[in-house]
Amino acid sequence: MELKHLLGSALIGDIIYDAPMSKYTSFRTGGRADALVMPKSEKELSRAILLARENGVPYCVIGNGSNLLVRDGGVRGIVIRLAEGFSGIQVEGNTVTARAGELLSSATNAALHNGLTGLEFAGGIPGSVGGGMAMNAGAYGGELANVCEGARVMDVKTGSTEYIPVSGLEMGYRTSRALREGNIITEAVFSLAPGDRSAIKALMDDLNRRRREKQPLAFPSAGSTFKRPEGHFAGALIEQANLKGVSVGGAQVSQKHAGFIINAGGASSKDILELMRLVQTRVYDMSGVTLEPEVRIIGED
């Protein structure tokens, strides 16, 4: 069945056909998706997933696209994007509840506004709450697992959603039970502590200053390209392999921070992938350490 006919009358949110995924990823590369679906509620999300599963249509779920590389051939089937429309933040007492489409920076700013401390580390992470929770995003010694009370998780097989306390989310270094099982975090609850607004703001400003000084924020990228190997730092290993500034096409190992591969101008996803493989090969040859991508890769060549 043609995708437009299948989705045409479905109540699943906004739909863009033949969507250029370069517009929806921070790398600014990648081919087109057959259909980009943007639900605004758990009901629309559930309908979209069950419709795809019942009709044998491939699908994937993304957030803000800040930790994502879409191959140049694009994505067949349906890409479900939980972003601007899937938003909302509530603050009650010492808890901040944020829907999956909210940016982590928005949740952090809500905490600041209400004099709550604990989320400052996440203020400069460009990802969404849902994607950040799935990957247990972290920076500067903090990670979401440390401040999460629990989350609503949708079972993609049934479309039903339940609240799971943080112990049941099984969050580890850049992983979670939901990510491993292919289920979807639709909302997260963060348990914070009362703090002084000026001190919270000062810490956020300091962390953002450090990011600007050390990270290549002026170029499109997906943040840290590789996970931190046990006992090592990916950026240090890459720099020791004399890879700073090395390029493939428009993709480059950042000269500012070797842990970042950037789109220095006109890069394709193929350029980025080839450079990632080059980095992995050289680092392994030099140190025997295998670098594992932190960036999620989807689509066809």
**Mean pLDDT, contiguous 10-residue spans, the chain (301 residues):** 86 96 98 98 97 96 96 98 96 98 97 98 95 95 97 97 98 96 97 98 97 96 96 96 98 98 98 98 98 97 92
In the prediction, which pLDDT does 1 show?
A: 55
- b/e string for 49-69 if b means 16 or more Cβ within 10 A? bebbeeeebebbbbbbbbbbb
Q: Catalytic one among 32, 81, 152, 174?
A: 174
Q: For domain 216-298, which architecture applies?
A: Alpha-Beta Complex (3.90)
Q: For domain 3-81, which architecture applies?
A: 2-Layer Sandwich (3.30)
Whole-number Å distance between alpha carbons of 72 and 30: 4
Domain with CATH 3.90.78.10 in the chain: 216-298
- For the chain, the first-to-last Cα distance in angstroms comes to 24
In the prediction, which pLDDT does 8 show?
A: 86
Domain with CATH 3.30.43.10 in the chain: 3-81
**Under 8 Å between Cβ of 246 and 282:** no
Strand order in the sheet with 161-165: 89-92, 95-99, 184-191, 148-154, 161-165
**Under 8 Å between Cβ of 268 and 29:** yes
Q: Is 174 one of the annotated active-site residues of the chain?
A: yes
CATH 3.40.50.1980 fits domain 89-199: no
Q: Is 294 one of the annotated active-site residues of the chain?
A: yes
Domain with CATH 3.30.465.10 in the chain: 89-199
The total of other beta-carbon atoms located within 10 Å of residue 4's CB is: 11
Q: Catalytic one among 66, 105, 294, 296?
A: 294
In the prediction, which pLDDT does 9 show?
A: 86
Does the pTM surpass 0.85? The reply is: yes
Residue type, 145: A
Q: Catalytic one among 128, 176, 224, 268?
A: 224
